Structures are given as structure tokens and as C-alpha cells.
């Protein structure tokens, strides 16, 4: 029985999401579209299987085909990233990062990662995360120009002697200085872990330097620029094995039985498919196109007077600094752009004058738009729409009184729903987007 007939309510919601994806521009840099082959693998009968353990060492019977698909995913990951060991079982990026802590640190150990409001990730030691609760986090920051303050990293590392140092971020728009982190970690005998969740696809394509020659461990999600399902991998490099010849085994034990039970075998199958796609010559072209589009969109925005953190980008994303119009304006731009079918996310900026709940920036990127076949000329048009939306909401300000903020945003949402100019732009965006197919939505 088809879903349409068995559960019409769920089918209706899925169809609404299908339309949303087809009729809008997805600019959230951590989102992308998977191929129909990846979608097909995700929906296979591997969903039915339970397979605690690793290939050849399962706690359940009937895993001969699961072993084969997991070994295939491991082999492809090792080949793509030129590493001796790959664990493809993490459910997502955060559990993968937690496993690295479990494998390399003891509770109370000192760790270092990029400060969250400066573009870092929650699991790199931010105070509300378990990683900032069970470990002593010493965050480093970016400079006033938005670049990582490498001098500060050196100073903090020598002063605090962390057990583990992270390099990686969710909102950093420049190329990571992996070689500098390797030098720092080497001097103080720390583990150096590169979290490339955002840039993994760019690394494979050669559009961003690889951390593999420098880091002991590399973690990554399998979606974002890699265009796979929502999973993760942990890669142990030769440099990591040279530092600790049991590192791969301890990583594996940290995932299972340390943090997880049975892997999601249908996701493993889809990861294998995505990695196979990343081996094709077209993927290299895709990765470079993502960066070219990102630079084009950044240029289009700056040409229209927008302020960008670091005045540009080296990768797939950019960060708009909206403080010239007042603090906390990210939420207004996100809501207004969503109204016309341009999806972004509000985000903190370095030196954030407001709060993570009402941040002053907007994060946007080009992986998903590039997957649909959009190029520089389309980025120019998108930049023009963003500028028009900004003009429509220019007068909107975040109230100083925190109690007045929620009502103000509610009123703002009602106003943009009734805004005729935004309604007209929505129709333009819809007509534009329908010219660019989304894999798996036809």
C-alpha cells in the first residue's frame, strides 16, 4: 500500500515540504539536496536490521550483507580522504565529536575550541554543551577582522596545556590554518582534531586544503557539502596512529559500546552511495562551483552595501553583519527572507552585541543552490532579492526591553505576511526556482 493511501496526513505534509524545497532557494550552508540514489538507499530494507558491533564482530546474526555495505563505506571513505581508518557509524556530528573526547580525554581534562559566538561549534566546549560541562574548556576567538586569532591560540595552549585542540566551525568563512594548529598541538603534545563537517565536500574536491596531513583525527558529517544522508564519520590519520597506535581501536570503542548501540544500516548504505558519487569527476567540479558561487554571492551582497564578516569568503558560506542597522536584526532578515522563499539562518557574529536568541547576523551559503545547477548569474539575482527584502524591513528594530521582543517579532511576522512587495517577490522567487530541479522531488 502506498503512503498516499495508508496515511494521507503524513503524505500531505511530505508533499508540502516537497513544494517548499522546489519553490524556494535554500541558502542555509549546512543543508543540501541528496541524489535520488541516496534517497533510495535510505529507504531500503536495511532499515529492518539490527547490527551492534562492527563487520565480522556483530552481536546479532544475519549481518553478512550489513558487513558488506559497512566495509564498502569504510573503504570508500579511506580512499577519498587518504586515511588508514574510518568509522562510519556515528549517528550525527555531535555523537562523533563526543566519541573523540571519550577516546582521547578524561573528565576534567582541558580542551580548546573556537568560541561559539565567534563561529565555533557547540560540541567544541561551549558552556551549555556536555563538552563544556565534563571538560575544562578554554575557548579561543577570532580577531576584529574575523580571522582566527592564531597568536591567541598559541598563548592559551602554552598557558593551559590542553589535552585536545579542535579546529572547525559552523560559521567561519575563511580557509582553516590546519598547519598552524598542528604546530601548536605538536609543541604541547595535544591531540589535534579537525572537524570538517561543513567543508568535507570541498576537501574531497580540492577546493579547500585537507586536514589529513596535519590532524590526528578528522570528524565530519556526511550531509552538507558531501551531499549524503544525515550521518557522520570519524577518520583516524596516519599522523594519529603515529601518535597513538591504539587510537583507531579507542575511537571504535567510544562509538560502540561507549556511546551508541546498533548503527543505522540504511544510513550506512546511503553514506556508501554518497561516497561513491564523491569519487566521480563531476563532484570535483561541483566543489569548485560551490566556492565560485559563494564568492559571487558575497560580491553581489557587498556591492549592494551589505557588511560581511571578513569582507568575503574562501569557502561555501558567508556571514552578514547587520549591526549597521542595529543589534539583533538577524531574526528580522531571516523571517522576511523566508517570506519570499529564500531560506537562511540567523546567526551570531564575532563580538555579538545582542544574544544567540536574537543575533545580529545571517549565515548563508551556496551548496544546495549549486546542486540545483545555479551559477554566478543566479547568485547575482539572489543578491538583488536579498537587498530588496532588506529595504522592506529596514525600519524593524529589536526592542531594548527583552519582554517586548516576542510581541514585536509576532507583530513583524503579521506585517510581512501582508506586505504586497514581499508577496510579489515571493512569486518571482517561485517562478525562478521552478526552472532548477531538486533531486528526488519530481
Mean pLDDT of 188-204: 98
Residues 172 and 148 sit within 8 Å (Cβ to Cβ): yes
**3-state SS string for the chain:** CCHHHHCHHHHHHHHHHHHHHHHCEECCCCCCCCCHHHHHHHCCHHHHCCCCEECCEECCCCCHHHHHHHHHHHHHHHHHHCCCEEECCCCCHHHHHHHHHHHHCCCCCEEECECHHHCCCHHHCCCCCHHHHCCEECCECECCCCCECHHHHHHHHHHHCCCEEEECCCCCCCCCCHHHHHHHHHHHCCEEEEECCCCHHHHHHCCCCCCCCCCCEEEEECCHHHCCCCCEEEEECHHHHHHCCCHHHHHHHHHHHHHCCCCCHHHHHHHHHHHHHHCCHHHHHHHHHHHHHHHHHHHHHHHCCCEEHHHCCCCCEEEEECHHHCCCCHHHHHHHHHHCCEECEEECCCCCCCCCCCCCEEEEECHHHHHCCCCHHHHHHHHHHHHHHHHHCCCCCCCCCHHHHHHHHHHHHHHHHCCHHHHHHHHHHHHHHCCCCCCCCC
Write down the catalytic residue from 174, 224, 239, 295.
Answer: 224
Report how far residue 180's alpha carbon sits from residue 182's, in angstroms, rounded to the nearest whole number: 5
Angle in degrees, CA 122, 123, 126, rounded to 5: 55
pLDDT tens, residue by residue, 253-270: 999 999 999 999 999 999
Spell out the domains of the chain, with CATH numbers in brackets: 40-278 (3.40.640.10), 283-433 (3.90.1150.10)
pLDDT tens, residue by residue, 233-245: 999 999 999 999 9
For the record, the C-alpha cell of 103 comes out as 577516546
33 φ/ψ angles, rounded to the nearest 5 degrees: -115, 130
pLDDT tens, residue by residue, 114-162: 999 999 999 999 999 999 999 999 999 999 999 999 999 999 999 999 9
User: Is 70 exceeded by the pLDDT of residue 17?
Assistant: yes
pLDDT score, position 442: 67
Write down the catalytic residue from 52, 183, 376, 380.
Answer: 52
pLDDT tens, residue by residue, 208-218: 999 999 999 99
Read off the pLDDT band of 356 (50, 70, 90).
confident
Query: Structure pTM?
Result: 0.96
Select from 318, 293, 328 the least CA-distant residue to 409.
328
For the record, the C-alpha cell of 284 comes out as 570535483
Residue 442 bears catalytic tag = no
Write down the catalytic residue from 123, 131, 170, 221.
Answer: 221
User: Is 80 exceeded by the pLDDT of residue 441?
Assistant: no
pLDDT tens, residue by residue, 89-113: 999 999 999 999 999 999 999 999 9
Write down the catalytic residue from 230, 253, 304, 397.
Answer: 230
Which residue bears the cell 539583533?
328
Residue 159 bears catalytic tag = no
Residues 352 and 379 sit within 8 Å (Cβ to Cβ): no
Residues 159, 164, 165, 169: is their CA dihedral positive or negative? negative
**Percentage of residues of the chain with pLDDT beyond 90:** 98
Q: What is the largest CA-CA distance in the chain?
A: 64
Residue 52 bears catalytic tag = yes
Mean pLDDT of 13-29: 97
Residue 50 bears catalytic tag = yes
Residue 303 bears catalytic tag = no
Select from 176, 179, 183 the least CA-distant residue to 198.
176
Write down the catalytic residue from 195, 252, 321, 352.
Answer: 195
pLDDT tens, residue by residue, 49-89: 999 999 999 999 999 999 999 999 999 999 999 999 999 99
Select from 116, 59, 105 the least CA-distant residue to 356.
116
Report how far residue 237's alpha carbon sits from residue 78's, in angstroms, rounded to the nearest whole number: 9
Residue 376 bears catalytic tag = no
Report how far residue 206's alpha carbon sits from residue 185's, in angstroms, rounded to the nearest whole number: 25
pLDDT score, position 396: 92
pLDDT tens, residue by residue, 155-195: 999 999 999 999 999 999 999 999 999 999 999 999 999 99
Report how far residue 19's alpha carbon sits from residue 7's, in angstroms, rounded to the nearest whole number: 19
Read off the pLDDT band of 353 (50, 70, 90).
very high
User: Is 90 exceeded by the pLDDT of residue 377?
Assistant: yes
pLDDT tens, residue by residue, 391-438: 999 999 999 998 999 999 999 999 999 999 999 999 999 999 999 999
Burial class (CB in 10 A: 0-12, 13-18, 19+), 439: middle
For the record, the C-alpha cell of 422 comes out as 514581499
Amino acid at each position: 500500500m502506498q503512503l498516499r493511501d495508508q496515511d494521507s496526513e503524513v503524505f500531505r505534509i511530505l508533499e508540502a515540504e516537497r513544494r517548499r524545497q522546489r519553490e524556494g532557494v535554500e541558502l542555509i550552508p549546512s543543508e543540501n539536496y541528496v541524489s535520488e540514489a541516496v534517497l533510495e538507499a535510505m529507504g531500503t530494507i536495511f532499515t529492518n536490521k539490527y547490527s551492534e558491533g562492527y563487520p565480522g564482530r556483530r552481536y546479532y546474526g544475519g549481518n553478512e550483507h550489513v558487513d558488506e555495505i559497512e566495509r564498502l563505506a569504510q573503504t570508500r571513505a579511506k580512499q577519498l580522504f587518504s586515511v588508514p581508518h574510518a568509522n562510519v557509524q556515528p549517528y550525527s556530528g555531535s555523537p562523533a565529536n563526543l566519541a573523540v573526547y571519550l577516546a582521547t580525554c578524561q573528565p576534567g581534562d582541558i580542551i580548546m575550541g573556537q568560541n561559539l559566538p565567534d563561529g565555533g561549534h557547540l560540541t567544541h566546549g561551549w558552556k551549555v554543551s556536555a563538552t563544556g560541562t565534563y571538560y575544562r574548556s578554554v575557548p579561543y576567538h577570532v580577531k576584529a577582522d574575523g580571522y582566527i586569532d592564531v597568536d591567541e591560540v598559541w598563548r592559551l595552549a602554552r598557558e593551559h596545556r590542553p589535552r585536545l585542540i579542535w579546529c572547525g566551525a559552523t560559521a567561519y568563512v575563511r580557509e582553516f590554518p590546519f598547519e598552524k594548529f598542528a604546530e601548536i598541538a605538536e609543541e604541547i603534545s595535544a591531540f589535534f582534531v579537525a572537524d570538517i563537517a561543513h567543508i568535507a565536500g570541498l576537501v574531497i574536491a580540492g577546493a579547500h586544503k585537507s586536514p589529513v596531513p596535519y590532524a590526528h583525527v578528522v570528524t565530519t558529517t556526511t550531509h552538507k557539502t558531501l551531499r549524503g544522508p544525515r550521518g557522520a564519520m570519524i577518520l583516524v590519520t596516519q599522523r594519529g596512529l603515529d601518535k597513538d597506535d591504539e587510537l583507531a581501536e579507542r575511537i571504535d570503542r567510544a562509538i560502540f559500546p561507549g556511546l551508541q548501540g546498533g548503527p543505522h544500516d540504511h544510513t550506512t548504505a546511503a553514506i556508501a552511495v554518497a561516497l561513491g558519487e564523491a569519487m566521480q569527476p563531476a563532484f570535483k567540479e561541483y566543489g569548485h562551483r560551490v566556492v565560485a558561487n559563494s564568492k559571487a554571492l558575497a560580491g553581489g551582497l557587498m556591492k549592494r552595501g551589505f557588511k560581511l564578516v571578513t569582507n568575503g569568503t574562501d569557502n561555501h558560506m558567508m556571514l552578514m553583519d547587520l549591526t549597521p542597522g542595529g543589534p539583533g536584526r538577524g531574526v528580522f532578515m531571516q523571517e522576511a527572507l523566508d517570506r519570499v522563499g529564500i531560506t537562511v539562518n540567523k546567526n551570531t557574529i564575532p563580538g555579538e552585541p545582542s544574544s544567540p536568541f536574537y543575533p545580529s547576523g545571517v549565515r548563508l551559503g551556496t551548496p544546495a543552490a549549486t546542486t540545483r545547477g545555479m551559477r554566478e548569474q543566479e547568485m547575482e539575482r539572489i543578491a538583488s532579492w536579498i537587498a530588496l527584502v532588506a529595504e522592506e524591513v529596514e525600519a524593524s528594530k529589536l526592542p531594548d526591553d527583552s519582554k517586548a521582543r516576542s510581541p514585536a517579532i509576532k507583530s513583524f511576522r503579521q506585517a510581512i505576511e501582508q506586505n504586497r512587495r514581499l508577496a510579489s517577490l515571493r512569486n518571482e522567487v517561485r517562478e525562478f526556482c521552478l526552472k532548477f530541479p531538486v533531486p528526488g522531488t519530481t
